[in-house]
Amino acid sequence: MSASSLSSSSLGAKDHPSMIQALPVLDTQDSAVSDVKTRRFTLLHKPGLSLTNSLNKCWFHASLHLLANVPMLREYLAEYPVSSAPLYKDFRKAIQAIIGHLSPSLVSNFFEKISAFNGVNNRYGQIAVPDFLEYLWTQLPDCFKSIWTPSIRKMQCLKCNWVSYKNSQDMLLKVYIPTHIGKNVSLKDLIDYNFINAHSEPSLCGHCHVNTNQKTVWDFIPNLVCLEILRVTERKTKSKQLRWSKNNVSISFPTSGIHLPGSSSSFRVIGTCDHRGTLYGGHWVTRMYCKSNTWYEADDLKNRVTLASTPGVKDTSVVILLLIADTLLK
């Protein structure tokens, strides 16, 4: 399948074992629901329900708050009450409870249904939002394939110049932080580093039939994009033990007028998930962009959703960036 053939090698998964996790093959679009992605949407007036921390599940609450701020997901859930995926019914109730200020017990019920998910490798010292988002994607393929379009990479063999294209079924586009940068970096620099003229580790050229270095550029990026900034990396200690370490580099970005290679759209940030603290004592929160140019923050250690400053100002906590093309917003 394309997700795994897009392999680990080109994503540098050797350093990030969690990336090897394969995602399901997504079949051709169901025409009945494919239009969800192409409508124009409105933002929420305000984030919904405020969720309260218990059992150390901030990652769960932060993930659901982010997803509740995806406009096409809200419409999909409103229009499709039934799915063959066992988790769908409770997922739908949980998101709709958040949006509609319904009972928090609907969110807790969904938590009980995902008890099989144990966090992949807990690289943040606890379950990570990106790992949980990818888990949901694998569990709810019909729903997510209806709102997310695969992106396409163009690979060029540096030996024979043969060009090939690969679909990426990844929900999250991984953004690696270069090893030798200062204390600050711009999102633009990260995008250039990761998505323009990135050189992958050697992979098999379909023309030379040998392992060659490939130049990779993003050829198509959809109008809804979720970037994951990889703030944790794996390293080996002197005694050959594996350890994760966190990168708290500050990242600067605008929240609108963002351009990505492979798209002519201008993107706006409509949500972030943030990891604060260390790998030994960290906390996940979500920031959400709503109507009237207002940012809110959902932090389940506070008893209500609060107003937030705009993300992207020397931002040391952002991990997930949810972007939508301006043309999709009313």
- Give the type of residue at 24: P
Note whether 208 binds Zn ion by CB under 5 A.
yes
Please count the CA atoms within 13 angstroms of the CA of 141 that sit on its side-chain side: 14
Cα separation, 328 vs 166, in Å, equals 25
CB of 156 to Zn ion, least distance (A): 9
Note whether 205 binds Zn ion by CB under 5 A.
yes
Note whether 204 binds Zn ion by CB under 5 A.
no
Contact in structure between 77 and 89 (CB atoms under 8 Å): no
* Cβ-based nearer residue to Zn ion, 194 or 203: 203
Both tokens of 40, joined, read 């124009």
Nearest to 277 by CA among 242, 317, 305, 308: 317
Residues 236-295 interacting with Zn ion (rule: CB under 5 A)? none
Binding segment for Zn ion (CB under 5 A), chosen from 43-51, 135-143, 199-207, 234-242, is 199-207
* Cβ-based nearer residue to Zn ion, 25 or 204: 204
Cα separation, 328 vs 326, in Å, equals 5
Binding segment for Zn ion (CB under 5 A), chosen from 69-77, 139-147, 207-215, 266-274, is 207-215
Binding segment for Zn ion (CB under 5 A), chosen from 97-105, 138-146, 202-210, 272-280, is 202-210
- The 8-class DSSP code of residue 46 comes to S
Binding segment for Zn ion (CB under 5 A), chosen from 95-103, 124-132, 145-153, 204-212, is 204-212
Nearest to 222 by CA among 116, 71, 325: 325
CB of 216 to Zn ion, least distance (A): 14
* Cβ-based nearer residue to Zn ion, 159 or 276: 159
Contact in structure between 155 and 202 (CB atoms under 8 Å): no
* Cβ-based nearer residue to Zn ion, 207 or 291: 207
Binding segment for Zn ion (CB under 5 A), chosen from 97-105, 162-170, 246-254, 261-269, is 162-170
Contact in structure between 307 and 295 (CB atoms under 8 Å): yes
Select the residue interacting with Zn ion from 111, 162, 220, 244 (CB under 5 A).
162
CB of 169 to Zn ion, least distance (A): 25
CB of 40 to Zn ion, least distance (A): 43
- Give the type of residue at 143: C
Phi-psi region of 64 (alpha: psi -120 to 50; beta: other; left: phi over 0): alpha
| Helix or strand run (H / E) with residue 228 | strand 224-229
Residues 101-160 interacting with Zn ion (rule: CB under 5 A)? 157, 159-160
Distance set, CA 66 to CA 4, 99, 303 (Å): 26, 11, 18
* Cβ-based nearer residue to Zn ion, 126 or 156: 156
Instruction: Give the interface size with Zn ion as a residue count (CB under 5 A).
Output: 8
Give me the phi and psi of 277, to 5 degrees please.
95, -160
* Cβ-based nearer residue to Zn ion, 162 or 220: 162
CB of 191 to Zn ion, least distance (A): 27
Cβ contacts of 198 within 8 Å, gap of 6 or more? 215, 216, 217
CB of 181 to Zn ion, least distance (A): 31
Q: Point out which residues bind Zn ion (CB under 5 A).
A: 157, 159-160, 162, 205, 207-208, 212
